[in-house]
Amino acid sequence: MFNTVTTIPRVLTVAGSDPSGGAGIEADLKVITANGCYGMTAITALTAQNTLGVGGIHHIPGPFLRSCLEAVLSDVGTDVFKTGMLGSEENILVVAEILQKYGITKTVIDPVMISTTGSKLLPESAVNAVREKLFPLALLLTPNIPEAIQLLPSHQPLNSLDGLISAAKALGEMGPKNILLKGGHLPFRRIEGGYVPAEKEEEKETMIDVFWDGNDFTLIESPYVNTKNTHGTGCSLASAIASNLARGMEVLEAVRAGCNYVSAGISSALMLGKGHGPINHLHSNYIMPFAPGRFVDYLLNHPSVRPIWHEYTHHPFTTQLGAGTLRKESFQHYLIQDYLFLIQFARANSLAGYKSASIPAISKTASIVQYVVAETALHLSYCNRFGLTQSQVEETEESLACTAYTRFVLDIGMSQDFFALQVAMAPCLLGYQEVALRLEKEGKKDSNIYWEWVESYSGKDYGEAVIKGREFLEGFAQDVGVKRIGELVAIFAKATKMERNFWGMGLECS
């Protein structure tokens, strides 16, 4: 017999038990399994609860909890240590002792204090122990708003986005390396230039979680879903993030993927129980390798795409453009080739219209063509400012990079379906905005003759086009099979390489 050795990422969850299956240890194990990891448990408390509330709590004694943790860690070990409901100061002290004894640094600390139904799950006397003993050992702390209020009793009210950001920073100063302040209790609506809390049900558009890494913050948005089925969201999110960390993701990447997972679990929740029902923990196991509405995120984070995407969006051509140090000859050459590319891009979209099977789809592609036509006019005007006449532009031969890219897109349009063509053209649409937003933040505006390019692709009009394009892709992605997804990833990856080579063409021109 062959002695085969296989490995799987390991996650140890230390939390209470929920007999109704929506939260606690029961939810943790579902989530960990659904996210491709091996789950282990140490139970801190038995609860009598369901979707209506918590009827009773039986705490596990500290010495027995220690025995459970020792049994797991001395034998199987763990890649990530996740905590949920600890229930008592004694158990908090045991967890802190074990983390230090085994030198465990990959920790997700979910400071569970209040259940979804409002039941207190941690006595007030134990809150200080969480702050003093667990905060310094946390790679990531994941409080919700009520928990943050308990942890920061003297902080300003958490009723605005600025308040959430300030609270995340304040929590970060107390020891954890990273903070994810979950904003599920404070829905927002979008306004020009920002967000305000939504006061009416019909105004609720988005939920915002604030991630703080000690130096900078990131806002992670999820669509608001009008539902009462949110039982176990905090447990599930912490377990999803822990699983992502165990699989090798960086912290912010793990958080984003975890938020996407839970968002899809809420939007696809099943009706179970009479109160706050559980989220759908197994949604992604039923259909696709990505959650509903997350096809684009799946493309961008796919192992075969991610390194190429970084090369494309962080290419030296773009960095020099943002800094204003790019040679004028390089930019002129790029402008000419980009104009020639737009001609073929319009042809490709016209072909997409021909291949469309419905009036709305035909109308959509026609509007894209009109947008490209308008962009070519603006492009020629921009070229003129760099000393290039229309005749000079149109008489120039296509570069090899331009020809290779445009013919690849046209070939996809001829040989494959409408959706494949849209995927082939997506790196251009998505990447230009990502590049421009990066340059807007990192670049040099003063005396930069290329700054108008940055403003064009980081601006509102182009942003709206990207939103529409993403929605278009997400709508089609739900109707294709799993095998087809692999083919589309390959198309997207190759088109991204072509975009990267297009920047290279600009730098290499003589």
Q: Pick from 445, 446, 408: which is nearest to 424 by CA?
A: 408
Sign of CA dihedral 36, 231, 259, 461: positive
In whole angstroms, give the CA distance from residue 94 to residue 81.
Answer: 14
Same domain, 187 and 103: yes
**C-alpha of 157 from chain center:** 27
Examine residue 280 and state whether it is found in any structural domain, yes or no.
Answer: no
* pTM score of the predicted model: 0.63
Same domain, 362 and 237: no
Encoding tokens for residue 476?
């089609």
Same domain, 239 and 302: no
Q: Are the C-beta atoms of residues 488 and 423 closer than 8 Å to each other?
A: yes
Same domain, 210 and 316: no
Residue reference for tokens 């409080």: 143
Examine residue 279 and state whether it is found in any structural domain, yes or no.
Answer: no
Q: Which residues, 6+ apart, have CB-to-CB distance to 61 below 8 Å?
A: 90
Same domain, 68 and 137: yes
Positions annotated as catalytic residues are 428, 499
Residue reference for tokens 């008592």: 88
Examine residue 277 and state whether it is found in any structural domain, yes or no.
Answer: no
What are the C-alpha distances in Å from 250 to residues 179, 199, 254, 260?
14, 36, 6, 16
Q: Are the C-beta atoms of residues 139 and 251 closer than 8 Å to each other?
A: yes
Q: Pick from 363, 342, 322: which is nearest to 446 by CA?
A: 322
Q: Are the C-beta atoms of residues 321 and 450 closer than 8 Å to each other?
A: yes
3-state SS assignment for residue 226: coil
pLDDT digit string, tens, across residues 242-273: 999 999 999 999 999 999 888 888 887 878 88
Number of domains into which the chain is organized: 2
Helix and strand tally (H, E) in the chain?
A: 20, 11
Tens-binned pLDDT, residue by residue, of the chain (510 aa): 445 556 899 999 999 999 988 889 999 999 999 898 999 999 999 999 898 888 888 999 999 999 999 999 999 999 999 999 998 899 999 999 999 999 999 999 999 886 655 666 677 778 889 999 999 999 999 999 989 998 988 777 788 899 999 999 999 999 999 999 998 888 888 888 788 888 888 888 889 999 999 999 999 988 888 888 888 889 999 999 999 999 999 999 999 999 988 888 888 787 888 888 888 777 766 556 777 788 999 999 999 999 999 999 999 999 999 999 999 889 888 888 888 888 888 888 787 777 777 887 788 778 778 877 877 877 788 778 878 888 888 888 888 998 999 899 888 888 888 888 889 989 999 999 999 999 999 999 999 998 988 998 998 888 888 898 898 888 888 777 767 888 999 999 999 999 999 999 888 875
Same domain, 254 and 316: no
Examine residue 237 and state whether it is found in any structural domain, yes or no.
Answer: yes
Q: Are the C-beta atoms of residues 85 and 15 closer than 8 Å to each other?
A: yes
In whole angstroms, give the CA distance from residue 435 to residue 300.
Answer: 14
Same domain, 253 and 310: no
Examine residue 4 and state whether it is found in any structural domain, yes or no.
Answer: no
In whole angstroms, give the CA distance from residue 477 to residue 60.
Answer: 47
The whole-number pLDDT of residue 77 equals 94
Same domain, 174 and 97: yes
The whole-number pLDDT of residue 119 equals 60
Instruction: List phi, psi (to 5°) of 57.
Output: -135, 130
CA atoms within 13 A on the CB side of 377: 5
Instruction: Please report, for the domain that includes residue 78, its CATH number.
Output: 3.40.1190.20
Instruction: Please report, for the domain that includes residue 356, its CATH number.
Output: 1.20.910.10
Residue reference for tokens 């050459």: 333
Q: Pick from 369, 383, 404, 421: which is nearest to 499 by CA?
A: 404
The whole-number pLDDT of residue 1 equals 41
Start-end of H helices in 230-355: 233-246, 251-267, 283-286, 295-301, 306-313, 316-323, 328-355
Examine residue 281 and state whether it is found in any structural domain, yes or no.
Answer: no
Q: Which residues pair with 39 in a beta bridge?
A: 11
3-state SS assignment for residue 296: helix
Neighbour count for residue 125 (Cβ, 10 Å): 9
Same domain, 190 and 338: no
Buried b (16+ CB within 10 A) or exposed e, 205-225: ebbbbbbbbeeebeebbbebe
Domain range enclosing 84: 11-268
In whole angstroms, give the CA distance from residue 184 to residue 167.
Answer: 15
Examine residue 282 and state whether it is found in any structural domain, yes or no.
Answer: no
Q: Are the C-beta atoms of residues 51 and 275 closer than 8 Å to each other?
A: yes
What are the C-alpha distances in Å from 476 to residues 127, 165, 358, 368?
48, 36, 13, 17
Same domain, 174 and 233: yes
Same domain, 300 and 245: no
Same domain, 17 and 140: yes
Examine residue 286 and state whether it is found in any structural domain, yes or no.
Answer: no
In whole angstroms, give the CA distance from residue 48 to residue 27.
Answer: 15
